[in-house]
């Protein structure tokens, strides 16, 4: 039997001797930094997503392209609903508002000096996802924060939502399951605060 290097265990335990009755091998404790191939790893949690990332340019590091209201991440579409506001989409590279990397997608709804104000002003981005399996469960996760100025006494003056629709001809305007995401309190405009993470899962997702 070959000697075992210091700090590691023998790959499949010590070679048993050959008495009249076989003796089961005894495995010594695994030292830190070593892996015992004879002991199977515990299964991952059932709710852990192990599949590939199906969203293109989800971190916005693959660039932006110009649109009439600013710049939108490559691979993403955008929408606005009007409603008495000025809208802007930006490649925000300010370090205090980036979760990681060099860029983040800033979406602005600006009602300064606009009267009268209307309810339900929306702006957002969407993406068509391919390669989904009907009946499978997919997880959507993101990091984001809300910032705003004015009407600070209203804690619900801004909200972030996520939704999806099924089918090859999916359209963001056909989404009927918008769900509010918990991105924490609304921060003042120049604040960074703490990035909030949110996730959701769904079956049969072909999403915008």
pTM over 0.95: no
Distance CA 44, CA 139 (A): 16
pLDDT of 81-108, one tens digit each? Answer: 877 889 999 999 988 888 889 999 999 9
pLDDT of 127-163, one tens digit each? Answer: 998 888 888 888 888 888 888 876 666 767 788 999 9
Asked whether residue 53 is domain-assigned, the answer is no
Asked whether residue 16 is domain-assigned, the answer is no
Asked whether residue 93 is domain-assigned, the answer is yes
Asked whether residue 34 is domain-assigned, the answer is no
Asked whether residue 117 is domain-assigned, the answer is yes
Asked whether residue 160 is domain-assigned, the answer is yes
**Number of domains composing the chain:** 1
**Where in the sequence is the domain holding 78, given as residue range(s)?**
64-203
Question: Which residues make Cβ contacts (< 8 Å) with residue 133, sequence separation at least 6?
Answer: none
- For the four alpha carbons of 155, 85, 58 and 52, in that order, the dihedral sign comes to positive
CA–CA distance from 205 to each of 2, 45, 172 (Å)? 54, 22, 14
Q: Which of 122, 142, 119 is nearest to 200 (CA)?
A: 142
């Amino acid at each position: 039997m070959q000697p075992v290097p210091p700090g590691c265990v023998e790959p499949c335990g010590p070679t048993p001797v050959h008495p009249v009755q076989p003796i089961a091998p005894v495995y010594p404790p695994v030292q830190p930094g070593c892996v015992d191939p004879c002991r199977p790893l515990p299964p991952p949690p059932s709710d852990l997503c192990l599949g590939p990332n199906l969203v293109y340019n989800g971190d916005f590091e693959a660039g932006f392209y110009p649109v009439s209201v600013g710049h939108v991440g490559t691979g993403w579409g955008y929408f606005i609903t009007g409603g008495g506001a000025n809208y802007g989409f930006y490649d925000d590279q300010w370090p205090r508002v980036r979760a990681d990397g060099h860029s983040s997608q800033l979406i602005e709804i600006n009602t300064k000096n606009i009267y009268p104000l209307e309810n339900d002003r929306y702006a957002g981005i969407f993406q068509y996802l391919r390669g989904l399996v009907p009946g499978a469960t997919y997880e959507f996760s993101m990091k984001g924060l809300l910032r705003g100025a004015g009407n600070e006494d209203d804690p619900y003056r801004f909200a972030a939502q996520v939704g999806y629709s099924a089918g090859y001809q999916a359209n963001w305007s056909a989404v009927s399951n918008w769900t509010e995401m918990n991105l924490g309190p609304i921060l003042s405009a120049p604040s960074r605060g703490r990035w909030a993470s949110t996730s959701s899962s769904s079956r049969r997702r072909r999403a915008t």
